[in-house]
Amino acid sequence: MQKITIAIDGYSSTGKSTVAKQLADYLGYVYVDSGAMYRAVTLYAMQNGIISKNNFDIDKLKESLSSIHLKFKKESNWNKAHIFLNGKDVENEIRNLEVSEFVSPIATIHEVRVKLVAQQQQMGLEKGVVMDGRDIGTVVFPNAELKIFMNASAQERAQRRYKELLERGDAISFEDILKNIQERDHIDTTREDSPLRKAKDAIEIDNSEMNLEDQFHVVLQLAKDRIAGRI
């Protein structure tokens, strides 16, 4: 069967990565979480005095880019690939609220985007990939055969993220999460380089009222129809 490229973009915490992973597993495709790459660069910046509450040394970030090596690796007993930053598994560390607070400013930097987009395009060369992010359908794979744009209300997204972080045992308040989501929406949609936009040919799904199962079935049907050439 002919393999296609599937781009899933949308706002923070819309469940893009969950549905992208389910879809990739079902189709036997590779799943790539592009947000994890921006998060890993952010973690590097935090660990190397490049970004903190009162400081963002953009020049140092640009100079450091050649020292940042990202790789996805999957062991058979893991349910998804983990991201490695310079050889270290940082999959868990990149999900905390501190990284979430700094990632959007880091993702505005053109040189960061050029580096990560090139690596993402490399991973999609053979098709059979489901990638989620903010600019996958607009910049990374403008020719993707299927583009989905996910949306949900900020309240609903904050509620989901809050539950996720509580389950991990993080001590956080709902208000902080909601504020972080609203700030990231603002930075992601208003940045100059590759702002979050629905591609003209993307299909929009608002999943505020959908559970994971409903959402998966909607997206899977679209993928099957596209692969079979029905849409």
Question: Which residues here bind ligand DC, judged by CB under 6 A?
Answer: 12, 34-35, 38-39, 103-104, 107, 133-136, 184, 188
Nearer to ligand DC (CB atom), residue 47 or residue 221: 47
Rounded to the nearest 10°, the torsion over CA 191, 202, 212, 97 is: -10
Give the residue with the Cβ less far from ligand DC, 125 or 225: 125
3-state secondary structure of 49: coil
In whole angstroms, the minimum distance from the beta carbon of 133 to ligand DC comes to 2
Smaller CB separation from ligand DC, 174 or 227: 174
Q: Residue 188 class from Cβ within 10 Å (0-12 exposed, 13-18 middle, 19+ buried)? A: buried
Closest CA to 132 of 31, 27, 41, 212: 31
Q: Which is nearer to ligand DC, 82 or 227 (CB)?
A: 82
Q: How far is the CB of 43 from ligand DC (least distance, A)?
A: 12
Q: Least separation, in Å, of the C-beta of 37 and ligand DC?
A: 7
At residue 96, the 3 state secondary structure works out as: coil
CA torsion angle for 67, 73, 77, 78 (degrees, to 10)?
70
Least Å from the CB of residue 99 to ligand DC: 8
Q: Of the two residues 91 and 135, which places its CB atom closer to ligand DC in the complex?
A: 135
Minimum separation from the CB atom of position 9 to ligand DC (A): 7
Helix (H, G, I), strand (E, B) or coil at 83: strand
Adjacent-strand bridge partners of 172: none
155 vs 182, which CB is nearer to ligand DC? Answer: 182
What is the distance of C-alpha 83 from the center of its chain? 12
Angle, alpha carbons 83-69-71 (nearest 5°): 30
Neighbours of 169 (CB within 10 A): 6
**Shortest reach from residue 194's CB to ligand DC, in Å:** 7
What 8-state DSSP symbol labels residue 227?
Answer: H
